[in-house]
Amino acid sequence: MYQIEEPSYFIYLIAIPVIFVLYLLVSFWKKRTQKKFASFNLMQKLSPERSAFKSILKMIFFLIGLAFLIVSLTNPKMGTKLETIKRQGVDIVFALDVSKSMLAEDIAPNRLEKAKQIISKIVDRLGSDRIGIIIYAGNAYPLLPITTDHGAAKMFLQNANPDLVSSQGTAINDAIIMASSYYDNDEQTNRFLFIISDGEDHQEDASSAIVQATKDGIKTYTIGVGTEKGGPIPIKYKGVLQGYKKDNKGETVVTRLNEAVLKDIADNGNGKYILGNKTRETVDFVEDLLVKAEKSEFESKQFSDYKDQFQWFIGFALLFLVVDSFMLEKKTKWIQKLNLFNK
């Protein structure tokens, strides 16, 4: 079994016949020019040791060396051994609150960006774990199905914002129910749900959804972002501040971190509440939690173990080119002594 990593380099092989044709044309021109000065017999007497065969042989060696060099550029690979790779990990779902209150800037740059930063840093430290992302406000929406593609997770995460959710509020109940449907591997023994929110506007009772999620083997952890002092909710247009959100009385709305709600969800979900204002401490806690968790095998793959073989072609190329450089266009003495062509 073999494969070619860069087949586009084969186009350079066209140089070999081009060089050979040019060599023939130059040889023809030399012979015709020599005839103007002396006959063939006279030329043999003037240059008795010159070998026409050696000249052709040198060109053949040069072209073979060049061909090997070009083939080495394509990086040929060969492999005959099949290897089985087993991947182990846990299933993790992030439920990210994208309600308007998450735009408050009491945590720099704002609560939502802090939450996205936490998730991104956690993803960077994951191994073969599968991850999924849900966003929620007035409704819950799937942002990314559960997958091992961590790069895609980070890409989709960057696009999470309140505009992706049609209605405002905080439908934590819907988010938990949706998260429960993400875990599609019945043999997975460790399922984690991380809810990242400020706890604001969690008016609905999520206890029934949490109880069912716990029965399904899901451990629910909550990560709070924001401060007890709180801050106003900015209204921006194309990145320019237009003002702050106001209530019906015209007063500026101040949104505060509601830790009590998040602690209650975590306690009922067989998990723990984490204050996420310090990114590094939060990520370290989650990493330690996942490292200690029992891993389940969820994927096995067989593939052929290909190894680079370009070095062999470079070696042969150097061999032919070195021989070409040391080969003189003179007749070999021991061949001359054989006198094969003279009677």
Q: Is the pLDDT of residue 40 over 80?
A: no
> What's the mean per-residue pLDDT of the chain?
83
C-alpha to C-alpha distances, 206 to 267, 268, 273, nearest whole angstrom:
12, 9, 15
What does the pLDDT read at residue 341? Answer: 46
Q: What is the pLDDT of residues 284-338, one digit of tens each?
A: 999 999 988 877 666 555 556 677 788 888 999 899 888 888 776 665 554 455 5
Residue 56 pLDDT: 83
pLDDT at 117 over 50: yes
Q: What is the mean pLDDT of residues 85-90?
A: 74
CA angle 20, 24, 25 (to 5 degrees): 115
95 vs 73: CA distance, rounded Å: 48
pLDDT at residue 335 in the model: 47
Distance, CA of 212 to CA of 33 (rounded, Å): 97
Per-residue pLDDT tens over the stretch 228-259: 999 998 988 877 888 888 888 888 989 999 99
Residue located via tokens 């007749």: 331
Query: What is the pairing mode between strands 76-78 and 307-308?
Result: antiparallel
> What 3 state SS string does 33-100 have?
HHHCCCCHHHHHHHCCCECHHHHHHHHHHHHHHHHHHHHHHCCEEECCCEEEEEEEECEEEEEEECCH
Q: Is the peptide bond before 232 cis (omega within 30 degrees of 0)?
A: no
Three-state DSSP state, 338: helix
SS3 of 218, please?
strand
For residue 35, pLDDT over 50 is answered with yes
Which residue intervals of the chain bear CATH 3.40.50.410? 86-300
Alpha carbon distance 222, 263 (integer Å): 7
Question: What pTM, to 2 d.p., does this model score?
Answer: 0.63
Tokens of 43: 């030329």
Give the model's pLDDT for residue 250: 86
Residues in Cβ contact with 128 at an 8 Å cutoff, skipping those fewer than 6 apart: 87, 88, 89, 148, 299
Q: What is the pLDDT of residue 340?
A: 47
Residue 121 has which token pair?
């840093």
Residues 160, 175: Cα–Cα separation, whole Å: 15
Tell me if residue 160 falls in helix, strand or coil: coil
Instruction: Specify the CATH architecture of the domain 86-300.
Output: 3-Layer(aba) Sandwich (3.40)
d(CA 198, CA 112): 9
Helix H or strand E segment including 172: helix 172-182
Q: Any idea which of 55-69, 130-144, 180-194 has the lowest mean pLDDT?
A: 180-194
Q: What pLDDT was estimated at residue 304?
A: 60
User: CB neighbours (10 Å) of residue 3?
Assistant: 12
